[in-house]
Amino acid sequence: MNEQESPEVQARIRSSFERQGLMRHLGARLADIAPGRVSITLAARSEVTQQHDYVHAGATSAIADCAGGYAALTLFDQDSEVLTVEYKINLLEPAAGDHIEAVGTVLKRGRTLTVCLLEVYGLQAGGERKLVANGQQTLIRVDRPAG
């Protein structure tokens, strides 16, 4: 087992996620943590939908951004944090389903900049999974603030 798969890295990612006020406000849940890959789910409740009952693009992009950031963070040491420098998301279909799932996957890890693939799927109760958004993100590694 390498460091990225360690219980310490899992705990660090979970602890950081729990401090995310927006994720808590949206009701998002950390679903899976693997080296260079993180997924986050969000139930399609009325509080996160738009006027046509699809999950709002803002909620869709927020969990995609977060999934990519945590995917990158799995590859850095405990003294590191990441911040989004930029991201672009394409909304391919209305975000329909009982839940949506954002998957962030590291495409290229650098010492300073890391690039991630972002994918968001609509999930139906019967298990059907449909790609509703995709994008790309650039993150910068920064030192964890003291304190």
Number of domain units in the chain: 1
Q: How far is CA 110 from CA 36, 56, 73, 93, 139, in A?
A: 12, 32, 12, 32, 10
User: Which CATH number is 104's domain given?
Assistant: 3.10.129.10
pTM score of the predicted model:
0.93
CA distance 94 to 5: 34
| pLDDT digits (tens), the chain, 147 positions | 333 458 899 999 999 999 999 999 999 999 999 999 999 999 999 999 999 999 999 999 999 999 999 999 999 999 999 999 999 999 999 999 899 999 999 999 999 999 999 999 999 888 889 999 999 999 999 998 876
Instruction: Quote the domain boundaries for residue 131.
Output: 3-143
